[in-house]
Chains A and B, each alone.
Chain A
Amino acid sequence: MAVLEEEARLFQIRIHGRGGQGVVTAAEMLSVAAFLEGRHAQAFPSFGSERTGAPVVAYCRLDDREIRLREPILEPDAVIIQDPTLLHQVDVFGGLAKGAYIIINTSRSFADLGLADFIRDFPADRLVAVPATEIAMKHVGRPLPNAVLLGAFAAATGLISLESVGKAIREKFPAKVAEANIRAAADAFENVRHPAGATEHAQAD
């Protein structure tokens, strides 16, 4: 029983993207955000071939106690998919339990992506489709979805605050780029928390 309780505190995130999208940086920023909230966090890359455009995986573990485990994350509690074209190339859902969070960078719906069958038993609040590239283009002017998706992650899971995400972004990016990314992450946060409002807000912008 003690083991179960301990396991329950551990939360594991796997981030899929392509070389150049800031996949590893996203995992690192997520770990910094959790650290700033007093939690233990461990972020590490998958150590695959690092080429622009090649599929890349990075991992992040969050816990209330020291994290000793060094194996790759095989059974994630959340996956963040920075590029939806990976759905056809990499087993992004490998080891995913029903009820885990799926956060995808897309302006389409899960059904439009051909995932209707796969997600049938997932609670709706665990499924997050957010147009992160568009949000990044709007605020940052570059198609870098990594920080934006952390805003969506914060909104969907409630595991870290948007404020901590912002602080983590400031640690990793130069001031001007950081502020633009923080606005983008906040936009994604609103987009997930209040989908309709975010749309109106975006239109009013």
Chain B
Amino acid sequence: MLKQIEGSHAVAEAVALCRPEVICAYPISPQTHIVEGLGEMVKAGELSPCEFINVESEFAAMSVAIGASAAGARAYTATASQGLLFMTEAVFNAAGMGLPIVMTVANRAIGAPINIWNDHTDSMSQRDCGWIQLFAETNQEALDLHIQAFRLAEELSLPVMVCMDGFILTHAYERVDMPTQEQVDAFLPPFEPRQVLDPQDPVSMGAMVGPEAFTEVRYLAHVKQMQALDLIPGWAEEFRKAFGRDSGGLMHQYRMEDADTVVVALGSVLGTIKDTVDGLREKGHRIGVLGITCFRPWPTSALRAALERARKVSVVEKAFGVGLGGIVSANVRTSYSGSLDDVFTVIAGLGGRPITRESLARAFTEVEQGTSAPLVFLDLNRAAVDRALARERESRRSGPIAEALLRDVGLVTAQLR
């Protein structure tokens, strides 16, 4: 059924269709509307049986999800930013124990400086924690990925993080096609746990493992993710047949035929990138787009094949490794057969900075023409940066950088861009 609703509510409805039995909730923007929506459905009796547990922190949220999942319940939670960091220890434990929890991360920047707006620093900080990480391009895909995520998580006995851009998707009203309960039930069988806490058949979960077997346990976590790489395309195909939509899978290709330059990105910025690429194609540029849906496990072989003909690769990413550069770019370089000097990084949209077609077109054109630096920060205010560096040269007590920069750029409460 077609609906015009907020992204968060679309996700809440989709999660409810997946019949979660335990939902742990701790509010943090921009995720809050999702668990609020689910809370209303549980309270109204529309989602039943389901235990909606208000917890006292994100650490508790993930800990309760772990307990619920270990007891054999389908468990769900959602978080963002500092909340994800606060639960990090439990996030690793969920993966290490192989508990099929599904969690939405409404992507948001990480402080300091504190910033509530969108980028990918939160999810990227957990890229090696052992969870499967899927990135949604639209609210429709976010909705669809949650339905796939429960299936994936439970078949593999691995937790899955569905990443959707905070505010840009969570707070956007757009058209979604909401599946029926019958459709979701047919795609997602009841949870049949591989391991469960059962007093009649006691097991120990999270046992201490010494050097004699730790490597093997960790290796098996890797093996499971590699299995996921083989299974995800098939499940996406099954989803497409059942729901009629090309959501999920490892990646999506757009106008890649004959493309000399390929733009790689994750999440909602792909829409703006596609419009930018359409504009460049009109002017004769041979450029295409590769959207990565599955970031963990990293689809090495599929990516290598997709980038085989690309002479240049421009990776647009909303986070970066301080002291290194692009995180997604570093991953792309492992899967590119051409010269590694031809993989360029564009860091964009940090802390909610708008990403415009105009700036992207300029960045892509520079990559095509060979005039781009290997690492570019899109729309960087160079003058403000230079002033900050000058202050540090001129005075030992140069003061807090963030405060001085705000003064320099002039804090505007309702900036248009």
Contact = CB atoms under 8 A, between A and B. Distances in A.
Interface stretch (B267-275, B304-312, B336-344): B267-275
A91 interface: yes
A65 to B, nearest CB: 11
Nearest to B2: A35
Given A31-B173, A32-B173, A41-B4, A47 B356 contact: no
A175 interface: no
Contacts of A68: 138, 270-272, 274-275
Interface stretch (A50-58, A154-162, A183-191): A50-58
A202 B413 CA distance: 38
A67 B268 CA distance: 12
B171 A45 contact: yes
Interface stretch (A69-77, A106-114, A137-145): A69-77
Interface string A10-50: 00000010000000000110011001100011111111110
A139 B354 CA distance: 39
Interface residues of B, number: 33
Interface residues of A, number: 34
A4 to B, nearest CB: 10
A3 interface: yes
B175 A41 contact: yes
Nearest to B116: A47
Contacts of A16: 414
B173 A70 contact: no
Interface of A: 2-3, 16, 27-28, 31-32, 35-36, 40-49, 54-57, 67-72, 74, 90-91, 94-95
26 contacts: A2-B282, A28-B6, A31-B173, A41-B173, A42-B173, A42-B174, A43-B172, A44-B168, A46-B415, A47-B117, A47-B352, A49-B413, A49-B414, A55-B414, A56-B414, A67-B174, A68-B275, A69-B271, A70-B272, A70-B355, A71-B355, A71-B356, A72-B354, A72-B417, A74-B356, A74-B417
